[in-house]
Structure 1
């Protein structure tokens, strides 16, 4: 399965740009330091996440407790709170600054009375979670745990009987520009994706307790003791011309990839990226009229037997 690691970070939401080094324990990526980027992406993707949450109501129409595992700054926690107004939401993350922002968001959006946070690593079995979850959401976060099979078993153990695990991993590489953009060699994004895959493999190999795993998520859910309920891919389609928010997202993502992958790209592609990121260049993403956002994210649902 293809990974979309261009700019998705999961700690939503989302995290997949692995060119960011840091000293925290999440696979050497400074998610707390990336807070503005994480919020920017998750907010742009919120319409898609709202469709996902609405679809999840078919599996758990009235969950008493929802756990957002790898919550980041809590953007998706807010989507879940809106979709399930009778549910309690628990945001779990290993970065305290992100949980602080999630609490601020809950207060601002008016669901703080049914919202709490838990600082814990995803590979630790979700720490001291007080009650079993009726719905456990994990988006773009599991691939930052070395032993994904063990982490899934930990998720399954935290589910109430009949509870559902909603796992969003994989999909297709996002696209923001035509294949031929009129500068440099055509196919820039495809070449960047190939380099990103190598970076992702190195990131995975360097995680504590890293274990190679075939990414057959339905099989892994079954191995964790869950019944594979469904697989569905959701699309985010923001056509050109993009809003200012969309352009800022594309520019930020390209800048992060340029910083993280620069040593692995050839000089011509680097020069093209520099032009794309120059706000004064008519061929750059800040000005050109053909910039878009097209992304596909795949969701796997596992249900715990009653």
Structure 2
């Protein structure tokens, strides 16, 4: 029985001998074309030359479609006690992953840009003890987290489902933090956004091993709230003279279709654990429940640039 399965496995690989294949050992993942093989060795042609690998060092072999065509007998366990269900489980590659993201970035366009223009128009400044007049500076920073489910249909392509939550804060301050003390005038959260995305991930293997360079494209929908002039309401009474109060709505709903494109590197320390460093651009057509700014329409296009640090588990 053992010899029969071994010959069948070699026959399956032989069927793909003239096509691209991926050979996985305990230490590396090798992509190329199988030139020759027998029950002791497999010779594979790579871009940088041929390599002969002892068959007892090989864990799995996949064809050019990512299908498993050979698995080491060591993974199958004793033939006398192995059931058909156990065999299928042992031969199945790790195709499912749960990935947790940490997100840091910035937001611009639409009402974000109008918030910044409003501060610039006020001409806020502070005079320091040496007579220096320091104009107010500002940042628009977003932080958040994400949860992903990834399904790898092949070694090259994966489907990625993502949920994200991001909070964007508008901060206004004076001073450079060196010669002049940095003093924060206000820092308020002006948007909270929930996003659901679905898309594809394309993987490239730059070297022998499991780590990849990834390109990701996704589309989805975003829903959240916007707090117009939240920083102005906070810092207005700190100014001299005190400007007029803001009489408009302080919390409105924003939502709309969104898409993002990005990429980065995935480091796989084993078939189970991975760490990812990614960067994204995301564009959203944001539709507000009320019009706030005369200079822009109620519905605006906003931009997000952010970096992502991720940790994932595959099964």
Band the TM-score falls in, shorter-chain normalisation: under 0.3
TM-score w.r.t. the length of structure 1 is 0.25
**Which is bigger in relative contact order (C-alpha 8 A, separation at least 6)?**
1
- Pick the structure with more strand per residue: 2
Q: Which has the larger radius of gyration?
A: 2
